[in-house]
Amino acid sequence: MAGITEVAERAGVSTATVSRALSGNGHVSETTRERVRVAASELGYVVSSNASGLATGRTRNVGVVIPFLNRWFFASVLEGAESALLSHGYDLTLYNLGGSREERRSVFEHFLLRKRVDAVIAISLELTPSEVTRLINLRKPIVGVGGPLLGVRTLSIDDIEVARLATEHLLALGHRSIAHIGGAVDSETDFHMPTNRRAGYEAALEAFGVPIDPQLFGAADFTIEGGYIAAKQLFGNPRKRPTALFAASDEMAIGAILAARDMGLHVPDDISVIGVDDHQLAAFFGLTTVAQYPQRQGQLAVEILMDQLHPGRPGPLTVNTPLKYDLIVRESTARPDARRH
Amino acid sequence: MAGITEVAERAGVSTATVSRALSGNGHVSETTRERVRVAASELGYVVSSNASGLATGRTRNVGVVIPFLNRWFFASVLEGAESALLSHGYDLTLYNLGGSREERRSVFEHFLLRKRVDAVIAISLELTPSEVTRLINLRKPIVGVGGPLLGVRTLSIDDIEVARLATEHLLALGHRSIAHIGGAVDSETDFHMPTNRRAGYEAALEAFGVPIDPQLFGAADFTIEGGYIAAKQLFGNPRKRPTALFAASDEMAIGAILAARDMGLHVPDDISVIGVDDHQLAAFFGLTTVAQYPQRQGQLAVEILMDQLHPGRPGPLTVNTPLKYDLIVRESTARPDARRH
DNA sequence: GTGAAAGCGCTAACAG
DNA sequence: CTGTTAGCGCTTTCAC
């Protein structure tokens, strides 16, 4: 319960000096600074963020808006952001949009306006135009992760290239009948990731002179279960079962592997499967995938915000490097004719 | 950017009245209140939480301390807590302990002390005594979820009974050779959940007069992969392969199902499997399980805190009911002799 | 029922 | 390099 005044008394200085000593703003002699530090720690003093925030207008707190908590990608970005914020002395206020429409509205109309956050990180949000407006009107630094956000700097892997790489891996192995499981086409939202991954898949096929067969596309919801269902449809077609499958996420790819097993198909002998993400479970399932690094993405988002929040801060300025992704070849892909049985 | 003064001017009242009208504290005539509301909403005014917090000492913000973000149980509790807090007008500040020791220390020594939170929810934390002390010293309402926290009110299912129920289900089906996969014994931490579930399993066996066989126990880390590895050990023993398995979590149970498949064993004909949780994927794998409801647990934790934070608040007082759990029978358990092949 | 005014605990000019 | 002082934007007695 100790306040700045007690620290000042104990250190024999004014409150202003305590403030300066502890925050690092302004010049304080090293001896004084040390004396203040000691006094503060002896009293267990920690600045009140309310008072400090009120005086400075800054809160050392950033809001993270996220559509799901229980999915690997989102939780990983959050994890990366949380730890990076912590290391900068920032708190993270979490807004999950997974609930009701009402909750969602109140986040945008009420919570984000409380001046409690200095900046916001928006993770893979599919926002309505009015929500985007509200976000922009905050006039605070914003960075998006994993999804395009109109008018906002966004961190995202090049989905077209990633899909292209995955598809080319299959083509290079010799596959010509390659199915794709991706997101359902939904013109309402402007969330382009599924569309981009499909475009990359098609571009790779076209570049190889392989015709695109709409029957080799299955729509799913990016879950294991969704991938399982979609894969069963594709694998069950006796007339033209594909020899390979590119799933737009590892979770769907895992669903597809399970579907194949249940249908008596061997992966990769009967069917090769590749995903995107390098999900927690990818290695366990021997899944070939194009890895992306969501934790690092969350961390990077924080660094970008810090650059904006503390313009002169030391350390390398965050460059606008494209996000890293890597092809990781495991056991779920092989040449189509490499049958072992 | 509108402040309380502008709202006051626009409504033709004093700032004091605006404050009263909007917060509901103190008496304001209905007409005035309405006029203030209109003025506020026209100006897009939202109280600054810093200023309000400084004046009142309350922040409308609760801290949630969590050990993992990327596991179903934890993410679900968090989800439930977030949405409940939102509906009470509270923000949620997230502290993830998954990172380095350094991060963990700073959470306890620095962040939680900033007076930024009115209360804290601690999810399944294995805390050192000094961390517990720090928590208690905050002198703020604290509630634990999913793990015993010395000296703190904790919400947790009755792990012994849950395990007992699961085991009894197998016994009732006629199984007598029942394996168990649970947590490794770790005397350092006082996190009793795995120990309790094992105790419940043993109690059920004993009550049935079935001897406990230490060789039928496997330790794992509560992940799918861990369950897979442990199950392979148990199922691979040609001399005494169990006919049933009780896994202390659904994720491990799913790993066991996958292990069985890989070993050519049929579930449930060759081996019955039961878990605990009713995980996202449980239905997909046809897993019989004892469901618990982490979202509701998170929500309940919030209600308890609200009771403490707003003593006279309307609505039913949160009673100290034991947490609900239900046996959900799916396809992964059957009689041991019901062989179909 | 409403207004005036004194803080809440800290920071940031401005002096010195 | 350090002290003095005036707020930051709201809430809350205390009067009226």
pLDDT per residue as tens digits for the range B125-134: 888 888 888 8
pLDDT of residue A135: 86
- Mutation to test the B interface, candidates A91, A251, A281, A285, most B Cβ within 10 Å: A91
d(CA A206, CA A125): 31
Q: How far is CA B40 from the centre of its chain?
A: 38
pLDDT of residue B65: 94
pLDDT of residue B190: 53
State both tokens at A291.
């890895």
CB < 8 Å to B99, chain A: 83, 86
Residue among A51, A76, A94 minimizing CB distance to B70: A76
Average pLDDT, chain A: 91
Handedness of CA B132, B138, B142, B146 (dihedral sign): negative
Interface A–B counts its CB contacts (< 8 A) at 129
Cβ atoms of B274 and B253 closer than 8 Å:
yes
SS3 content of chain A, % helix, strand, coil (to 5): 45, 15, 40
Residues 81-100 on chain B lying near strand C, CB distance under 7 A: none
Residue ranges of A 85-114 with Cβ closer than 8 A to chain B = 86-87, 89, 91-96, 98-99, 103, 106-107, 110-111, 113-114
SS3 B134: helix
Predicted confidence band of residue A341 (pLDDT cuts 50, 70, 90): very low
Asked whether residue A54's C-beta has any atom of DNA/RNA strand C within 7 A, the reply is yes
Cβ atoms of B247 and B253 closer than 8 Å:
yes
- CA distances to B46, B89, B261 from B34, rounded to whole Å, are 16, 20, 66
Rounded mean pLDDT, A246-268:
97
Q: How far is CA B68 from the centre of its chain?
A: 11
Rounded mean pLDDT, A160-187:
93
Using the CA of B20, which nucleotide's C1' is the nearest one? Answer: D11
pLDDT of residue A315: 58
pLDDT of residue B147: 76
Cβ contact B284–A113 (<8 Å): no
Cβ contact A61–B93 (<8 Å): yes
Write out residues in chain B with pLDDT < 70, as ranges: 1, 150, 186-191, 312-321, 338-341
Cβ contact A79–B93 (<8 Å): no
| A279 DSSP assignment | -
pLDDT of residue A338: 54
pLDDT of residue A310: 86
Is 80 exceeded by the pLDDT of residue A147?
A: no
Residue ranges of B 284-303 with Cβ closer than 8 A to chain A = 284
- Mutation to test the B interface, candidates A116, A135, A229, A331, most B Cβ within 10 Å: A116
Residue ranges of A 250-279 with Cβ closer than 8 A to chain B = 261
Q: What kind and span of H or E run contains B104? A: helix B101-109
- Which residues is B246 bridged to in the sheet? B180, B274
SS3 B121: strand
B7 CA – C4 C1', rounded, Å: 18
pLDDT of residue A298: 96
Predicted confidence band of residue A76 (pLDDT cuts 50, 70, 90): very high
B64 CA – D14 C1', rounded, Å: 39
Is pTM, for the whole model, over 0.85? yes
d(CA B341, CA B334): 14
- Which residues is A145 bridged to in the sheet? A123, A155
State both tokens at B2.
């509108």
State both tokens at B29.
């005539």
A285 CA – C14 C1', rounded, Å: 67
Asked whether residue A28's C-beta has any atom of DNA/RNA strand D within 7 A, the reply is yes
- Supply angle C-alpha A230, A233, A234, rounded to 5: 90
Residue among A70, A91, A116 minimizing CB distance to B49: A116
Q: Which residue is nearest to nucleotide D7 (CA to C1')?
A: A55
Asked whether residue B43's C-beta has any atom of DNA/RNA strand D within 7 A, the reply is no
Cβ atoms of B200 and B161 closer than 8 Å:
yes
Rounded mean pLDDT, A55-82:
95
Predicted confidence band of residue A139 (pLDDT cuts 50, 70, 90): confident
Rounded mean pLDDT, A87-102:
91
Residue ranges of B 198-257 with Cβ closer than 8 A to chain A = 224-225, 228
Residue among B79, B96, B98 minimizing CB distance to A98: B79
Using the CA of A35, which nucleotide's C1' is the nearest one? Answer: D2
Question: What is the CB neighbour count within 10 angstroms for residue B57?
Answer: 10
Q: What are the pLDDT digits (tens) for A28-55?
A: 899 999 999 999 999 989 999 999 999 9
d(CA A6, CA B108): 23
